[in-house]
Amino acid sequence: MPELPEVETTVNQLKKKVLGRTFIDVWTDFPKTIKKPKTFEQFKKEIKGEKIQKLWRRGKNIIFDLSEQKVLLIHQKLTGHLLIGNWKLEIGNWKPLKTGPLQEKINTYIHLMFWLSGNLMLALSDLRKFAKVELWTKEGFKNLKGFKNLGPEPLTKDFTFGKFRGILKNKKGKIKQVLMNQEVIAGIGNIYSDEILWEAKVHPFKDVSKLKEDNLKKIYQALRKILKKAVKLGGESISDYRDIEGKKGGFDILRKVYRRRGEKCSRCGTIIKRIKLAGRSAHYCPRCQK
């Protein structure tokens, strides 16, 4: 599912395709994806004619800065991903015109389609229909709760070890949960929190207040290393994420613990375990991670 590296990949690729283009029209068979404005008809009316001036990522959010002081926000949630291509509508289903990755099943759950100037189509494929799309005015967007409260971006230069340590200093709770909290650090989800903690040799249930300086340093280093590497490789595609051409990301070969329950730890050979943590699963090596 799309976390920071996957969203970053999508945004980087999308920039090359859509900057400067104008929204011509939009289609949906699931209007609930559009959370703002209230009706799809209104959304359609407002987005038509809007030009894409800037495209950027914040946490797991994709943000389109548009003309006329408007902002389009897309959160892909669990199974959403954006695709560029050409399709035709056949009995309610969008069929890709060319053979290739867009024909893969996971890329065919298209519930939202944009037409852009220059004969370009932008689709949102979303198996479980959790993705959200919102059209805001710049003013409204600025005050968005849950966006304003996002923690710092972990890959920027100023996200130093000192800053990281400072952020975790007065936090309580289990380290995995804290890493996934978007208000603490933006962009880390279930997959990368598992991978980071394996790399750092820290148990996912370890209480943040009990972490020693050395543990913190290792977590910080692992976090930077793994996220950067994942961006470079175009994200992970163990299940549903695909890039804008419908292709898989290359991080899977480096995946050490996530969804590897029952397999041997690549570092020590111990069987990888999975435990429940606040309704989600944590994967870890019971020998390496203390």
C-alpha 227/C-alpha 63 separation (Å) is: 20
Please state, in angstroms and rounded to a whole number, the distance separating the CA atoms of residues 243 and 7. 9
- Distance of closest approach, residue 110 Cβ to DNA, in angstroms: 12
Query: In this complex, which beta carbon is closest to DNA, that of residue 78 or of residue 167?
Result: 78
Residue closer to DNA (CB basis): 173 or 286:
173
Q: What minimum distance in Å lies between the beta carbon of 71 and DNA?
A: 15
> Residue 199 catalytic?
no
Whole-angstrom Cα distance, residue 40 to residue 37? 7
List the catalytic residue out of 3, 46, 134, 236. 3
Q: Known catalytic residue: 57?
A: no
At CB < 8 A and 24+ separation, what contacts does 100-109 make? 100/245, 100/246, 101/242, 101/245, 101/246, 101/247, 102/245, 102/246, 104/242, 104/246, 106/79, 106/240, 106/242, 107/81, 107/83, 107/242, 107/246, 109/79
CA distance 43 to 31: 10
Q: Please answer whether residues 132 and 78 qualify as being in contact, where contact means their C-beta atoms are separated by less than 8 angstroms.
A: no
- Residue placing its CB nearer to DNA in the complex, 50 or 126: 126
Q: Please give the Cα distance from 44 to 37 (Å, whole number).
A: 9
Closer residue to DNA, CB minimum distance, 16 or 172: 172
Residues that bind DNA (CB under 7 A): 1, 3, 32, 59-60, 75, 77-78, 105, 109, 127-130, 146, 172-173, 180, 182, 189-191, 258-259, 274, 278-281
60 part of the active site: yes
Shortest distance (Å) from residue 180 CB to DNA: 6
At its nearest, how many Å lie between DNA and the CB of residue 48?
26
Catalytic residue among 5, 46, 60, 132, which?
Answer: 60
- Catalytic status, residue 273: no
User: Is the Cβ of residue 116 or residue 240 nearer to DNA in the bound state?
Assistant: 240
What angle is formed at CA 212 by the lines to CA 267 and CA 5, rounded to 5 degrees?
Answer: 55
- In the 8-state DSSP scheme, what is residue 199? H
CB of 51 to DNA, least distance (A): 27
Q: Which of 16, 45, 280, 290 is catalytic?
A: 280
Q: Catalytic amino acids? A: 2-3, 60, 280
